[in-house]
Structure 1
Amino acid sequence: MKKSILILIVTMLYSCGNKEEKVYPKRTAMTESVYASVTVQPDSLYQAYAAVAGILDEILVEEGDWVQKGTPLFQITNTAPELNADNARLNLRLARDNYKGSSAVLSALEDEIQSAELTLKNDSINYFRQKKLWEQNIGSKVQFENKKLAYELAVNNLRLLKNRYERTRNELSTQLQQAQNNYKTAKANTADFTITSKIDGKIYALFKEPGEIVTTMEPLASIGSNNVFVIEMLVDEVDIVKLAKGQKVLITLDAYQNEVFEAKVNKIYPRKDERSQTFKVEALFKTPPITLYPGLAGEGNILIAQKDDVLTLPKSYLINENKVRTEDGFVTVKIGLQNLEKVEILEGIDASTQILKPEE
């Protein structure tokens, strides 16, 4: 009796072990999405760099501080730009005095021109008087030619002085403008030693300590929005053509387990990262979590299509992406939407077709 029962149990187990898994396609709602890795970052996040090299003299803020645009962040020391600015100021004053001052070079030329004008006037009178006498055959030819030569020399001298005056004035004007530009540049360079915030935001990180050498190649701080965060997503290049601005995104963050946040695609960056073969996509929270920090990681699913009533089949029953196994053999199907779990069946089978699970 016991032997018969044992044989029956073994037979049942054997038959159950050989029973093939089967399903029927089901009609249900379905959504297709694109997967993306997620990193949360403050909006307008940027790294502050020094415009000049020097020694970091003072840090005027702390990590976590809220700052307004133009708020001083760091003070750098370097005596060379201050000396350059002082020299530029002295050169500007000299150029201005030469052009406009009482001891200006132009004043001396103006005096020479006035003297030349008086000489020309006198020589002109003598010349035309002598010319009139010569026409009346009065006086000698030598006297006439001497008066004429003196007159012509006076005309040429006055012309040369006026040309010299214009040329000198243009040169001094150019020198004054150059001195003004040099002084502005030197003053701007001294102002560059005080680094200020470019936005209204929050100090998220400081990378230097007082006394350290500062270069133009190393960031000093990381600054971004205090209350607006963006979602940076990396999307595989095979999926990027499916995305568009305004698409809905479902976000899960490691810091908020079992919570799903809704967002919307805000920006698609056109440049591909050659190393990771991904594109960067930016989204904005519809209702963000209460507390967010830069660098929070998670996953995102960008919804690209949604249907309410479609014929679906578990993805594990699909063979070579377009075939299924039935009791009558293999059948080619046409699929539509698909996600990680199931696919939409457009043609080839219906809800009454029994599908066998592929053999492993």
Structure 2
Amino acid sequence: MQKLKICLLFVLFLSCSQKRETVYPQKAKLTSSVYASVTIQPDSLYKIYTVVAGILDENLVEEGDLVKKGDAILKINDRAPKLNSDNAYLSLQQSKENVQGNAAILKDIEDDIYSVKLKFTNDSINFSRQKRLWDQNIGSKSEYDTKKLAYELSENQLKQQKARYARTKYDLETKMEQAKNSYSTTQIVIDDYTVNSKINGRVYAILKEPGELVNTLEPLGAIGSATNFKIVMLIDEVDIIKVKVGQQTLVTLDAYPKEVFTASVSKIYPQKDERSQTFTIEALFTKTPATLYPGLAGEGNIVISEKEDVLTIPIEYLMDGNMVETEEGEVQVEVGFKNLESVEIVSGITESTKLLKPKV
């Protein structure tokens, strides 16, 4: 009798242990999405570079500081360029003095022109008077020729002095413009020794300390938007053709584990990363979280398509060959839309069909 009870209990336990999970198909909204890894980056983020090499003299801002476009970020030692600028300024001032000052070279030539002009006027009067006498057959031919020669020599000297004045003025003005250009160039060079912000934003990184050697190849820091952030996502190459600009994206961040944020795809980069075999896309938040930092990580699901009121079953109830198991046996179904959790059933079963979970 005791053995019979034990056998009955064993059979009952065995039958209970073999009881399988069941489910009925349900009408529901089915959403298909593409998975992506997520990294948060400030909009307009760029690395700071210098166009000159030298020793870093001073960092004028700190990480986290807000800056405006044109604000000085850091300064490189510029003593040698300043000396060149000072020398160029002295040359410019000297050139201006030669053209415009009281002791200008042109002033001396103007004085010479004035003297020659007086002599020319006097010789012109004497020649005119002598010519009138000669026309009246008064005076000698020798006197006439002498006055005429003096007049012609004075006229020629006046032309030469005027030409000299014009040539010298042109040369001096050209040298003054060259001096201006040289001084402007030195000012540009000095400006290059101060690195300025290209945007209104926040300083996210300063990578060099005063006294360190800097060059044109290494970044000195990073600046980006203080308020606008973008979502950088990596998409597997098998999914990239499904993604379109404007598609809704659901984002979860490790820093906000209990919240789901909505965003929209804003940009698709056409170049594939050969190392990771992924494509990069960007999305923008519909409503930006209260606090964000560069580098925050998370996950994203890009909604590819949606269907309302479709017959669905859990994806784990679908077997190979699009078969499902019912109480009457295996039945083949026609499937449609699917995602990681559910699959659409087009035909083969109804909402009243009881399904058994396949044996593992």
TM-score range, shorter chain: 0.7 to 0.9
Which aligned pairs between 1:185-196 and structure 2 lie closer than 5 A?
185-196=185-196
Distance in 1 between residues matched to 2:212 and 2:57, nearest whole Å: 8
Displacement of 1:80: 0.9
Q: Which amino acid aligns with 1:40?
A: I
| CA 1:77–1:152: 2 relative to 1, 3 Å | same
1:108-155 CA deviation, whole Å, 9 max, x = no partner? 221222223223222322333333333333444444444334333333
**Structure 1 residue 122 and structure 2 residue 135: aligned?**
no
Pairwise CA distance, 1:250: 0.4
Secondary structure, counterpart of 2:151 in structure 1: helix
CA-CA distance at 1:39 after TM superposition: 0.8
Q: CA deviation at 1:49?
A: 2.3
Offset from partner CA, 1:67-91 (integer Å, 9 cap, x none): 4444443232232111111111111
Corresponding residue number in structure 2 for 1:253: 253
Q: Deviations over 1:13-72 (max 9, x none)?
A: 9xx89x9x9999764312232332211012332222233322122333333334444444
**Counterpart-to-counterpart distance in 1, 2:243 and 2:148:** 93
Name which of structure 1's ranges 197-206 and 235-244 shifts more when overlaid on structure 2: 235-244
Contact 1:250 1:263 in 2 (8 A): yes
The residue number in structure 2 matching 1:177 is 177
Comparing 82-91 with 171-180, greater Cα deviation is found at 171-180
Q: How many residues align?
A: 345
Q: Deviations over 1:235-254 (max 9, x none)?
A: 34555554444332101223
- C-alpha spacing 1:249/1:137, structure 2 compared with 1 (3 Å): same
Note closer, same or farther for the CA distance 1:193–1:351 as it changes in structure 2 (3 Å cut). Answer: same
Partner of 1:90: 90
Counterpart code for 2:39: T
Secondary structure of the 1:128 match is: helix
Measured on the aligned residues, the alpha-carbon RMSD in Å equals: 4.0
Of stretches 305-314 and 211-220 in structure 1, the one that deviates more from structure 2 is 305-314
After TM superposition, the structure 1 = structure 2 runs for residues 134-149 of structure 1, keeping only pairs within 5 Å, are 134-149=134-149
Find the counterpart in structure 1 of residue 300 from structure 2.
300
Q: Which residue in 2 is equivalent to 1:32?
A: 32
Aligned to 1:288: 288
Give the equivalent residue in structure 1 for 2:203.
203
Is residue 324–residue 356 contact of structure 1 (8 Å, CA) maintained in 2?
no
**Counterparts of 2:168 and 2:180 in 1: how far apart (Å)?**
18
Give yes or no for contact 1:311–1:351 (8 Å, CA) kept in 2. no
Give me the whole-angstrom Cα distance separating, in 2, the residues matched to 1:318 and 1:95: 93
Matched residue, 1:73 = 73
**2: distance between equivalents of 1:127 and 1:250?**
105
The 2-side partners of 1:129 and 1:277 are apart by: 104
Per-residue Cα deviation, 1:157-200 (whole angstroms, up to 9, x for no partner): 33333233223223322322222232233233334433343444
After superposition, what is the alpha-carbon deviation per residue over 1:195-248, rounded to whole angstroms, capped at 9, x for unaligned? 343444333222112211122222222222334322112334555554444332
Deviation readout 1:265-310 (Å, 9 max, x if unpaired): 3x31554245355443322223333432211122212223222123
Asked if the contact 1:24–1:351 (Cα under 8 Å) also holds between the matched residues in 2, the reply is no
Q: What SS class does the counterpart of residue 220 from structure 2 fall into?
A: strand
Flag the 1:242–1:174 CA change in 2: closer, same or farther, 3 A: farther
One-letter amino acid of the structure 2 residue matched with residue 76 of structure 1: I
Partner residue in 2 for 1:150: 150
Q: Distance in 2 between matches of 1:345 and 1:109?
A: 104
| Counterpart AA for 2:206 | L
CA contact (8 A) 2:322 2:335 kept: no
Instruction: Report SS of the residue matched to 2:271.
Output: strand
Counterparts of 2:231 and 2:28, CA distance in 1:
31
Q: Take 2:301 and 2:193, find their aligned partners in 1: how far apart are those partners?
A: 46
In the alignment, is the contact (CA less than 8 A) between 1:25 and 1:350 conserved in 2? no
Cα distance in 2 for partners of 1:211, 1:119 equals 70
Question: In the alignment, residue 100 of structure 2 is paired with which amino acid?
Answer: K
Structure 1: distance between partners of 2:332 and 2:240: 33
Deviates more, 1:31-40 or 1:130-139: 130-139
Q: Tell me the distance in 2 between the aligned counterparts of 1:257 and 1:120.
A: 100
Matched, 1:268 2:282: no
Aligned residue identity for 1:122: N
Give aligned-pair identity as a percent.
51
Alignment correspondent of 1:51:
51
Residues 203, 138 of structure 1: alpha-carbon distance in 2 compared, 3 angstrom cutoff: same
Q: Give the letter for the 1:211 counterpart.
A: G
Q: Is the 8 A contact 2:273 2:279 kept in 1?
A: no
Q: Which residue of 2 aligns with 1:229?
A: 229
* Structure 2, gaps ≥5 residues long: none
Find the aligned partners of 1:233 and 1:286 in 2 and give their Cα distance: 16
5 Å matches for 1:213-228?
Answer: 213-228=213-228
Find the counterpart in structure 2 of residue 133 from structure 1: 133
TM-score (norm 1): 0.77
Mean Cα displacement is larger for which, 270-279 or 177-186?
A: 270-279
- Secondary structure of the residue aligned to 1:62 is coil
Instruction: Find the aligned partners of 1:112 and 1:215 in 2 and give their Cα distance.
Output: 57
Check 1:289–1:126 CA distance in 2 against 1; reply closer, same or farther (3 A cut): same
